[in-house]
Structures are given as structure tokens and as C-alpha cells.
Amino acid sequence: MKNKSTTWFMVYVVVISELSEALVKLPPNVTVTALIAFGDSIVDQGMNNNINTIAKCNFPPYGSDLMGGVPTGRFCNARTPADLIAEELGIKELVPAYFDPNLQTTDLLTGVSFASGAAGYDPQTSQIPAVLSLPDQLDLFKEYMSKLKALVGEESANYIIANAIYFVVAGTDDLLNTYFILGARRLHYDVPSYADLMVHYASTFIQELYDLGARRIAVFGAPPIGCLPSQRTLAGGLNRMCVDRYNQAAQLYNAKLSSQLDTLGNTLPQSKVVYVDIYNPLLDLIQNPQNYGLEVVDKGCCGTGVLEVSVLCNKFSQTCPDHTKYLFWDSYHPTETGYKLLVDQILGNYINRFF
């Protein structure tokens, strides 16, 4: 078993050495072994393809600009932030879903995504669409760790786990779907107390992830949810304006989350728990599109762009003529162009905080 493990670790070393050089300059003697993602549709690389839920996008026109136009289950026209950042760090070009039927053994060595579209920190958020909750995703991560240890041995597996970078992207579906649209929690919580509930679940998840060996954890805040095309349509009035009360809820949650993450970062030994502000960079793209070469920021590229998402954005939907001029692909998720613009800012602002 030891010989087998040694062989696989040598394979890992070869895999890493053959990857393109990291575009982001890392400090001397710093290694990022893998990228591992948890959360919702922003980093769902196809997990929902293989579960019984309506929250899917493994059909055209999703994926139209990726891998010859074959839909992968990414809620985008092409790559997601997980893919883009993994490439920038020199890890690999595409981060696969853990449930990917074509998953290669070598993929385990450099990271996978456990994220499930429509999931959230609040357990109710994942129950409604029957997707993988954050605890479900953590259980799959434990299974993944066992496979990794069987592959390269415990010592090498622990090294990969400790030197990976972890993305946790959730919260949007809690606020929009569970709280505002369905109203499932509004009977018992006002916005501040619901934000506290979300932060409680987020904090518990991060603590459990740390206990499993994760040390570099990037936790993304909520975006300006009131400016998503679908929310402009549903609650923005005849002029489809950004919905202020939704954005204020996101800002309140972000403030509470950021504060709690600071506390965790100061109390978990050897950890780098980093709050990633996505609210302000995305709002700037929406308010100043001309600065970024964008032309349309209030509609998605798919169909009418005002409501289509998931099954409503399908093979019968026309798409915009130039995908690179749109911030949003559907009424909920950015285009690869939008993600690239955001990733450039994220890496510039945060990458050095992990080392």
C-alpha cells in the first residue's frame, strides 16, 4: 500500500509540474495544492446533474462557450469563478464536480467542487429544491478525503488538504428564495435575526471544515441581490430598478458575516479565514459598465433576459449576439466575461491574505 501511495504522490507531483505556470505570483515556498469548492450555483460544476432536482442546467444554451458547447451543468455560458481562479493559480483549467461521471483519479489530487445549485446555509434553503445541503457537501468531502488517503497515503493527503484553497459561496439563495420570495422564514425572523441565523450556520460549517484540515478558506459575501435581473423584474417595479430592501439585507448580512469571520480567523490556529467582498465589485460593474467594456447589465443574455434561469433558459431560448457584452448570462448568474472581471479584482485584493 505504501508503494502504491508513493507512486500516486509522484503522479501528483508530475501533474502539478506539467500545469501552466501560475499567473498569480505566489510568495516564495508557498504552494497551493488544490482548489475545493462548496456552496451554490456560482461554483456548481455539475453536481446537480446527478440528483433529482429541478435546479439544473445541463442542457443548451448553458455551456455554449465551453468545450465545444457541451453543457456541463455549470450555471454559465462557460467557466465559473472556480475554474478561472484554479487556472490563475496554476492548478488546472477546469475544476470538476465531485459527481462528474468522467472524474479522473488525478482530478482528486488537485481538487473538486461539491457545490450544489440552489443550496444555502439555512437548511430550509436546500430542502425546498431538494439539492445538496452544506452538511451533505461536507459529508462528501469526508468521503473524498478517504479516497485521497487511499490514493496517496495519509501524510501526503494531509499535505494536499492543508495546502489547498477552499471556496465557500452561499447566502444568495437563503436571502432571495427562502426569505424574500417564498417567505418561509419571515414569520419568525426579521432581516437582522435571519442574517444572524445564516451567519450561525456559516460559522458552524467553517469550523467543521477547519476541523477536517482546511486552513485557507475564502468565504464569499452576498452580492447586490436586488440588482439581479430576475429581482429587478419581480420586485423592481415597472422600470425594473434595483430593489433597495434586498440590497440592504445583503449588506447587513455581509457586515455580520465579515465580523464573525474575523473572529474565527483570530481563534482558529494557523487558519486564514478570509471574507471576500463580492457586493461592491459587482455593484461597480452594474453602475459603471462602460469602464469594463460591458453594454447590458440589467438583463441576462438568455431569452428576454428578465426572468429566464435554469429550466426557463433552454434550447428554445434565443441568446444575445455578443456574450462578452453582457454581465449576466441568465437572470441570476453572470457570464464568463462578468466572472473574469470579478475574479481579476478578487485575486488582486485577497490572494496575499491566504499566505
- Nearest residue to 112 (alpha-carbon basis) of 55, 170, 34, 42: 34
> Which pairing describes strands 35-39 and 165-169: parallel, antiparallel, or unpaired?
parallel
Cα–Cα distance for residue pair 85/276, rounded to 1 Å: 14
The SS3 assignment for 130 reads coil
**Active-site amino acid positions:** 41, 330, 333
For residues 319 and 310, is the Cβ–Cβ distance under 8 A? no
Angle (CA) 355 338 163, round 5°: 20
Centroid of chain to Cα 1: 35
Question: 234 to each of 65, 68, 112, 296, 326, how far by Cα in Å?
Answer: 29, 34, 34, 19, 20
Phi and psi, residue 151, nearest 5°: -80, -50
Q: Which amino acid is at 60?
A: P
* CA angle (296, 289, 278) in 5-degree steps: 105
Question: Which residues, in sequence order, are CB contacts of 286 under 8 Å at separation 6+?
Answer: 224, 227, 242, 297, 298, 327
What is the identity of the amino acid at 173? D
* Residue whose entry in the numeric block shows the C-alpha cell 469550523: 207
Nearest to 122 by CA among 186, 51, 48: 186
